Structure 1
Amino acid sequence: MTGRRWDMGATRRMGRVFARRSPGVPEPVDLVASGKLDGALVDWAFYRAGRRDTKVNSYTEALTRARRGQGFVWIGLFQPNQRQLDIIGEEFGLHPLALEDATEAHQRPKLERYDDTLFSVLKTVTYVPHGDLTATSEVVATGEVMVFCGPGFVVTVRHGEHSELAGLRQRLEQEPEHLAAGPGVVLHAIADHVVDRYLEVADAVQADIDLIESEMFNPRGWRKIDRVYQLKREVLELKRAVAPLTGPMRALSTLRHPLISDETRNYFRDVDDHLLRVKEQVISFDELLSSILQAGLAQVQVSENEDMRRISSWVAILAVPTMIAGIYGMNFDYMPELRMKYAYFVVLGVMATACTVLYRLFKRNHWL
């Protein structure tokens, strides 16, 4: 009970900060009812003591209660346009630089602090199921989630078809004691969800790497070297999502901020630990694929050398009858062998014997 009273007090204090940020603000416009967020709004709710307050039916009332420190508002947006983000930014006092980053996709994972508001960018990844891995197979697809976390509000902005936070809000609503700690818990839940997906994708990619590794070292496996290159590109895509997030996650696990309680900070440390594990796994993927790629290139060179030795061996074997036939094709008048009764058969025998000897010699040296 003591921890819960502290969390509730933290929520009320955050609400008072939110109210101080906007002194003299007129009654807010109902952005939901007015349709200004149509096409981008996924869901919104007002949370009091960690529970979704279904009695608050209007966005205006929810925002007013949040400013009084009675809870917080969580708004979820999907690919909003510049005008819609400007409206949200004006409503919550968001920094223009953060709004600019939220408008444009393809941002690096990061964490930025603007006064009492935290802005974070997280790359989401998903594994794309496929049959046989080909030179054009898509293995890893990415999206982005931007989170504005401030006193009395959370705004999530998603970009890309693979940025879903499926069931996250519902799972949090089933843990009201945890959600009562305020907006910082939502930020942790999103980070935890994203990193858990990293682990799932890494396990699936591991299976692809094991398969391509076994195929590469089969006879003529080097013919599939283009698949290794494609898989390496997909692993690099995963690496670009995972590696840059380690800095922001480490900062969240040590950051002293009114939005993040000591208990929530402990949860962030757990997420950071999982992230480091998946980072090491992805780096090992990259190194392993580089080794497989080098082994494949070495196989190509060995195969080319074997083909060249084979060709050279047959050229040497055929050179003997070619030389003898060339000598007897000079048509000189005085060639004593031409008058011999069995010269024709003797020459054929010499040709066959020489070719047989050379063939056995090359065969013993593994040139044929």
Structure 2
Amino acid sequence: MLINCAAYQDGRKLADIDIDSISDYVARPECFVWVALKDPDPDELAVMKHEFDLHELAIEDAQHGHQRPKIEEYGESLFAVMHTVEKDDDGELLIGEVDVFVGRNYVLSVRRNTRTGFQNVRARCEREPELLKEGSAFVLYALADDIVDRYFPIIDSLSSEIEALEDRIFERNDSAASRAIIQDLYSLKRRLVILQHHIAPLQEAISKFTGGRIPNICEGMQAYFRDVYDHLERIVRTIDGRREMVVTAVQVNLGMISLAEGEVTKRLGSFAALFAVPTMIAGIYGMNFEKIPELHYKYGYPLCLIVMLTVDIVLYWRFRKSNWL
């Protein structure tokens, strides 16, 4: 699906154009054309390949999708793959892909499985004609910057989930609640791993524009791409920190379960002791021996009960004082 197709010159939009006119504007050295596609079919990509003279391997990657985030050079053009991350209504992560072809006189962006478009990026570029004069390189930066900025709300929401789970850990929970906490922590860790898998490679790709040999198309844009790289570095470090927090939370939760089991064991042991002492005394006097002391004593029975009761009262007081009961 064609979303937008426009021509720009000297940082300003000339006009929205149709596909058949693309080659006319691309032929002008002072112009560049920006085309946006959504979930295109092979025929649409074939037309773009013809209009912009795109590399066969780059077209193949864009057509099949599911590429690792990367930036590759094909002669005087670039092919960038970036992943978008969104959340569905159930809080699960939705991974999309944006493929960007960049040449001296064109930008072709192809997005797949992405709910939110990039109309705001086009509007931003058109509001900044001084920067848009840089041409297609600035558009590539603006797209990358917007995609990276969309990662921050996802990270913030996962951080809020971690804080909520940490509060739940220290509440008095039964075994079912503790099991649910562990399941939620594992789900959170899985989503953090997914995030790192789709974000960390982009950091490595963007680093190509921040030092060393810079592609000719992006000369003069190093400072802008360095800003994107810094954001990615911050995000990756945050993800690593949140993963460590999840691991720690799992360990703390298991520790709390062990403490709760220990409390139950102490209570059971305390009640067992309260019954054990009277049972021992009663068992001794229940033996079939005639020479048991005080066996025929007139007040032996009530005295024995008093001793049992006194011992239990003392034990109960000690257990209560030690917080075992």
Coarse TM-score class (shorter-chain normalised): 0.7 to 0.9
Tell me by how many angstroms 1:299 deviates.
Answer: 1.4
Aligned length: 319
Q: Judging changes above 3 Å, is the alpha-carbon distance between structure 1 residues 83 and 310 closer, same or farther for their aligned structure 2 residues?
A: farther
Structure 2 residue identity aligned to 1:239: Q
Q: Judging changes above 3 Å, is the alpha-carbon distance between structure 1 residues 323 and 98 closer, same or farther for their aligned structure 2 residues?
A: farther
CA distance in 1, matches of 2:304, 2:57: 91
TM-score by length of 1: 0.76
Q: Judging changes above 3 Å, is the alpha-carbon distance between structure 1 residues 81 and 347 closer, same or farther for their aligned structure 2 residues?
A: farther
Tell me by how many angstroms 1:85 deviates.
Answer: 2.8
Structure 2 match to 1:350: 307
Do the aligned residues in 2 keep the contact of 1:147 with 1:156 (CA within 8 Å)?
yes
Structure 2 match to 1:182: 135
Structure 2 match to 1:240: 197
Do the aligned residues in 1 keep the contact of 2:148 with 2:228 (CA within 8 Å)?
yes
Structure 2 segments unaligned to the other structure (5+ residues):
none
Structure 1 match to 2:19: 59
> Bigger shift: 101-110 or 176-185?
101-110
Q: Give the alignment partner of residue 162 of structure 2, picking from 209, 212, 231.
A: 209
Structure 2 match to 1:302: 259
CA deviation digits over 1:13-45, x for unaligned, max 9? xxxxxxxxxxxxxxxxxxxxxxxxxxx222222
| SS of equivalent to 1:259 | helix
Do the aligned residues in 2 keep the contact of 1:181 with 1:261 (CA within 8 Å)?
no
| SS of equivalent to 1:53 | strand
CA distance in 2, matches of 1:156, 1:243: 21
Q: Give the alignment partner of residue 118 of structure 1, picking from 68, 78, 82.
A: 78
Structure 1 segments unaligned to the other structure (5+ residues):
1-39, 130-136
| SS of equivalent to 1:164 | coil
Do the aligned residues in 2 keep the contact of 1:192 with 1:271 (CA within 8 Å)?
yes
Q: Give the alignment partner of residue 216 of structure 2, picking from 258, 277, 281.
A: 258
CA deviation digits over 1:181-216, x for unaligned, max 9? 211111000011112222333333333333333333
Structure 2 residue identity aligned to 1:95: H
Report % sequence identity. Answer: 36
CA distance in 2, matches of 1:76, 1:279: 29
CA distance in 1, matches of 2:60, 2:308: 83
CA distance in 2, matches of 1:159, 1:58: 22
Is 1:71 the counterpart of 2:31? The answer is yes
Do the aligned residues in 1 keep the contact of 2:7 with 2:17 (CA within 8 Å)?
no
Structure 1 match to 2:58: 98
Structure 2 match to 1:360: 317
Do the aligned residues in 2 keep the contact of 1:109 with 1:241 (CA within 8 Å)?
yes
Do the aligned residues in 1 keep the contact of 2:5 with 2:17 (CA within 8 Å)?
no
Tell me by how many angstroms 1:329 deviates.
Answer: 5.6
CA distance in 1, matches of 2:321, 2:57: 74
What value does the CA root-mean-square deviation take over the aligned residues?
2.8
Q: Judging changes above 3 Å, is the alpha-carbon distance between structure 1 residues 112 and 312 closer, same or farther for their aligned structure 2 residues?
A: same
Tell me by how many angstroms 1:249 deviates.
Answer: 1.1
Q: How does 1:195-234 map to 2 (within 5 A)?
A: 195-220=148-173, 223=178, 224-234=181-191
| SS of equivalent to 2:318 | helix
CA distance in 1, matches of 2:291, 2:118: 94
Do the aligned residues in 2 keep the contact of 1:42 with 1:76 (CA within 8 Å)?
yes
Tell me by how many angstroms 1:251 deviates.
Answer: 0.6
Structure 2 residue identity aligned to 1:160: N
CA deviation digits over 1:213-263, x for unaligned, max 9? 33333444982333333222222222223222111111122352232131x
Structure 2 residue identity aligned to 1:347: C
Q: Judging changes above 3 Å, is the alpha-carbon distance between structure 1 residues 315 and 158 closer, same or farther for their aligned structure 2 residues?
A: same
Q: Judging changes above 3 Å, is the alpha-carbon distance between structure 1 residues 75 and 196 closer, same or farther for their aligned structure 2 residues?
A: same
Q: Judging changes above 3 Å, is the alpha-carbon distance between structure 1 residues 58 and 128 closer, same or farther for their aligned structure 2 residues?
A: closer
Structure 2 match to 1:149: 102
> Bigger shift: 339-348 or 243-252?
339-348
CA deviation digits over 1:284-314, x for unaligned, max 9? 1122222222211211222222222222222
Structure 1 residue identity aligned to 2:2: L
TM-score by length of 2: 0.85
Q: How does 1:15-54 map to 2 (within 5 A)?
A: 40-54=1-15
